Amino acid sequence: MKTILITGANRGLGLAHVRTFASRGIHVFATARVLDESIELTQLATLYAGLVDVLQYDAADSEAPSRLKSIVGDTPLDLLFCNAGVMGEGGQSLGSIDVLGILNIVRINSLAPLKLVEALTDNVACSKRKLVAFQSSLMGSIGDNGSGGRYGYRISKCALNMVAKGVANDLKSRGVISVALHPGWVKTRMGGQQAPLTLEQSVTGQQQILDRLSLKDSGRFFNYDGKELPW
């Protein structure tokens, strides 16, 4: 891979992916919602000058994809990694459902990535690798749901998995590979310090998957260790 674009790159998994991709000599368009607060990402851009370009992108802003397109132009993107997302606040338990709050989670976690793919399809399709990856979650798996709760987040990731499958079908004729990925339970601000996986373990596993994907893998859902997950 020569060039990728990853959203939600200012912390956690996104930041770790930027660091690892750049260390491999891959050019990264790394997006963050608030640039002034993205200190570590800005430091990475300085460390890897010429390899990391920091761009503003807010998944809650419907005009953000078109602005990114205007900046990226016709640059081929070997990988479009839709990583940005939110866990959401309260109102996700049975008996206290916040409809508007859940709709906002779905808008950010599911529809924003779809609009980003719409804006950047040509960039991906004209690249050598032609990859689109969606940072999903096992909590979006219907087959694995044995605990209930967290309705907003679960619904949004389930919807994102459908987006990944739909994109795989719609862009198959252009040779584009689309997959949903589960990073595992990782020690991040979202995952908490009780999580069993380090950022390095998750990111290394995900990048190994991305390196070996072929068109026959398009439309599938993978764990960070390469295991296929149930929808």
- Answer yes or no: is 228 within a domain: no
- Answer yes or no: is 198 within a domain: yes
Boundaries of domain holding 52: 3-223
- Answer yes or no: is 72 within a domain: yes
- Answer yes or no: is 158 within a domain: yes
C-alpha span between 99 and 50 (Å, rounded): 44
- How many residues would you count in the chain? 231
Could you read off the pLDDT tens digit of each residue along the chain, which spans 231 residues? 999 999 999 999 999 999 999 999 999 999 999 999 999 999 999 999 999 999 999 999 999 999 999 999 999 999 999 999 999 988 899 999 999 999 999 999 999 999 999 999 999 999 999 999 999 999 999 999 999 899 999 999 999 999 999 999 999 999 999 999 999 989 676 666 777 799 999 999 999 999 999 999 999 999 999 999 999
Q: Which of these, 6, 31, 33, lies nearest to 20 by C-alpha position?
A: 6
- Answer yes or no: is 122 within a domain: yes
- Answer yes or no: is 229 within a domain: no
3-class SS at 13? helix
In the chain, how many domains are there?
1
- Answer yes or no: is 231 within a domain: no
Question: Which pTM was predicted?
Answer: 0.96
Residue ranges of alpha helices (H) inside the chain are: 12-23, 39-47, 64-72, 99-106, 112-125, 151-170, 199-212
- Answer yes or no: is 134 within a domain: yes
3-class SS at 48? coil
Question: CATH no. for residue 83?
Answer: 3.40.50.720
Cβ neighbours, 10 Å, residue 47:
12
Tokens of 95: 């008996």
Q: Which of these, 212, 180, 2, lies nearest to 85 by C-alpha position?
A: 180
